[in-house]
Each structure stands twice: as structure tokens, then as C-alpha cells.
Structure 1
């Protein structure tokens, strides 16, 4: 009961000023299956639930309001990263896609998270997150969405890309840059016939048939 009172008192200090902050404040309980202990009124209005409903959701909170593909990956990584570093001063930043109440489109947010409170044994207990919605009309949104799409492509196609050898990756890079087989042969000091063999093998291994598909691999895996 004493710890519960300390938690409530700690959360109250944030609740008193949360609506004055330029973003949504969320406090999670790491030791209770990532239960949401608090969300600022702005966030509750946006997703259309009460704090009591949110507190009863548990992990469903992440799959219901956030992109499920992304949340399945970044939530465990974030928590693991915080617990591994175990520092009061460690702040992790990340992008996430949130769906507001009765809205079909995902809204891009920039969020930061840190350890907010520890239990009596010094173990991390609460985290605090501040999430800021990025204006969909801002040019940055389109750029960030492209990065997120590339990351999704990378996760989905990593196994195929891993089958490419170093020379094939070099050829893929030059192909994505628009160079011809002759130009690639001159750059790599190999025959044009060898370049064409590499190109055929790359297409087979990646199951890619167009220049656009090859360029997707080159961008997602930082070849260009």
C-alpha cells in the first residue's frame, strides 16, 4: 500500500501540469505487464477512452491504438533497452503510428521515453512517455513515412538479402545508381559477362524483376 501511495503521489505531480505540455503524457507500469497508469486528458480525448478503460486494457493498449506490426517490435526493444541501461538519465526517442478515435489514418508521432520511478528495491517501476503528433501537412511527415516503409521492407526481406555475397551487393548498389553493365564492369575491374551473371543471380535471390524492386533493396539496406 505504501508503494501504491508513492506511485499515486509521483503520478499526481505530472497530472497537475500534463495539459500544459506540448504533447501527450503516458505513464506505464513495467512490473505490471506494461499497464497504463496514467494518460493526460489530451491523449484520452484523442483515442476516445477514459483512464479507467485504459487501465483495464493492459498490453491490448499497444495493439489497439498503435500500428501492430511496429508495436510488436519496438515495445519489447524499448523496455529491454531501458532496463539494460537502467539509468535515470537515459532517454530513448522513436517514431510511432497512432490511430485516433473513429479515424482510419495513422497519425505519426515522435515520442520519448525514460524511467520515471523505481520501487523500494531500486528496480524500474514506471516509465514516462511524451508523444508529439507530427502535422501531416509538414514535409517531414512524408520523409519519416518513407523511412518507416524502408524499415518495414528491411524486416520483411532480410532473409533474401542475406543470401547476397559482397560482390553481388556491390553490383546491386551500382545497378540502383543507374549504371550500365559496361560501366559496372569498368568500375569493378571485371568482365561485362561477369556483371550480367551477377545481375541474373541477384534477381533470382531477391525475387526482383524490375529496377524499382532492386532500388528498394538498395535503399532499405543502405547501399545507396
Structure 2
């Protein structure tokens, strides 16, 4: 028993040494890179093992403080709405366990001192495996997006649409194919008469479909109806 325990301890120490060696290799060049480098330990519930100095300066906390925060770190500094989109991508990456695969995603980050969100374009890949070839470390490069760049507002709109889609998918699925077509023309500003002409149906039938759409979606707001049309690629 003592021999097994000794071997297990030695294996753990050896793995930890490998982890620290890998981190040292990345840390040696991290400050020369244009973004923030983060290394997570997947086998420790995605705990942060390393973040480059650029990242700690931006967040205003040390690596040790990040480790002490545990899971609160994610809620404090990252928008949870973004996480609903990119966390499944990262989990899928781990499950596929592919050296060549990289997942890319947008995320919003903020500091304790500044409540405003800052957009980052991030990429993640597997960095290291354990002795059983299971993913152990992932490495992420997070690049800041110029807040004055037009892509920032576009990303924000896309994220809002994606969140709206996820939240209202079940409701939208209640619409028939004809109702979806009616909604599309409605969102494009077509009148009931114009819609009837386009679809070769009566104005009365169009009005009936519109009432049913409002009932099923639970709204009579033109803005919200247009949100549905955009989010579900009707327009």
C-alpha cells in the first residue's frame, strides 16, 4: 500500500512539474503577444492556472487573487450571456480531444473599477494532456476589439439576436410556415393588402394570420415582432 501511495504521489508531482514547465514556456513569450494569454486546467473545473501580466493589469487583480476567487472569477469579470454561447464550444473541443482544432468566440470582459463591458475576440485550443492523453490544459488568446470599430456594435447586435433566439425558440416554433411568411412580410413593412397580393390570399386572411401571430408570440409590439424576424433569419 505504501509503495502504491508513493508511486501515486510521484506521478502527481511529475504531472505538476510538467504543468509548471509548460506554463513557463508560455510565460516566457506572453508579454510579446498582442493579447491576453490564459491557461485553464480542465481537470480542476477550468481553474485558471496562468494569466499573462497584460491580463492581470487589465483586471486589476493578481493571479493568486484569481485563484482564490474560484468560480466567482467568471461571474465577476465575464458576461454570463456570452458564456451561454462559447462554453458549450469549449466543452465540445475538450470532448473531441483534437490537437488541430481551435474554437473562436466573442466575449465581453469588465474590471472591478469599470462596469462597462470590453469586447474581446478569443481563440482556445488544447495545450497539454495528462498521462492518459485526456485534455488537461487549454490555452486561450484574447484580443481586444477597438470600441470605436464598427465590428463592435455588429457583434453586440449579433449576440443580442442570439440570446433572443435561444430564449424564444420554443415560442417561435408555434408559428406555422404560412405565419412565418406573414411575419417576414410584416417585419419588412408590407401592409395587409400588399401581403395579400404577394401571397395571393385575401386581406381578411392576412389579418387573421397577424392576430394569430401576435397571440402565439405574446406581443403586439412591432419592435418585438421585428426582433423575431431578425433573430430567426426571416429578414
Question: Are 1:139 and 2:150 an aligned pair?
Answer: yes
Q: Deviations over 1:11-48 (max 9, x none)?
A: 11110010110100000000001100000000001111
Aligned to 2:218: 207
RMSD of aligned residue pairs (Cα, Å) = 1.3
Q: Do 1:65 and 1:98's aligned partners in 2 also have CA atoms closer than 8 Å?
A: yes
Question: Which of 195, 206, 213 pairs up with 1:195?
Answer: 206
Partner residue in 2 for 1:27: 39
For the Cα contact (< 8 Å) 1:83–1:124, is it kept in 2? Answer: yes
TM-score, normalized by length of structure 2? 0.91
- Paired residue for 2:89? 78
CA distance in 2, matches of 1:75, 1:174: 33
Shift in Å, 1:68: 2.2
Aligned residues: 223
Counterpart of 1:10 in structure 2 is: 22
Shift of 1:75: 5.2
* SS of residue in 2 equivalent to 1:155: helix
Q: Which has the larger radius of gyration?
A: 2
> Greater shift after overlay, 7-16 or 187-196?
187-196
Per-residue deviation, residues 121-169 of structure 1 (Å, max 9, x unmatched): 1000000000111111111111111111111222222222121111111
Q: Which residue of structure 2 lines up, in the alignment, with residue 59 of structure 1?
A: 71
Which residue in the other structure is 2:194 paired with?
183
1:93 to 2:110 alignment: no
Aligned partners of 2:85 and 2:97: how far apart in 1?
Answer: 18
Partner of 1:126: 137
Residue 200 (structure 2) pairs with residue 216 (structure 1): no
Query: What is the rounded CA distance, in whole Å, between the counterparts of 1:23 and 1:83 in structure 2?
Result: 23
Normalising by structure 1, what TM-score?
0.95
CA distance in 2, matches of 1:172, 1:116: 47
Q: Which runs of 5+ in 1 are unaligned?
A: none
Distance 1:87 1:167 in 2: 43
After superposing the two structures, state which structure 1 stretch, 152-161 or 43-52, moved more: 152-161
Preserved CA contact (<8 Å) 2:107 2:119? yes
Candidates 148, 160, 172, aligned match of 2:159: 148
In structure 2, C-alpha distance between the alignment counterparts of 1:7 and 1:171, rounded to whole Å: 58
- The CA distance in 2 between the partners of 1:131 and 1:174, in whole Å, is 40
| Structure 2: stretches of 5+ with no match in the other structure | 1-12
The 2-side partners of 1:186 and 1:8 are apart by 70
Write the distance in 2 (CA, Å) between the matches of 1:74 and 1:192.
41
The separation in 1 between residues aligned to 2:113 and 2:75, in whole angstroms, is: 16
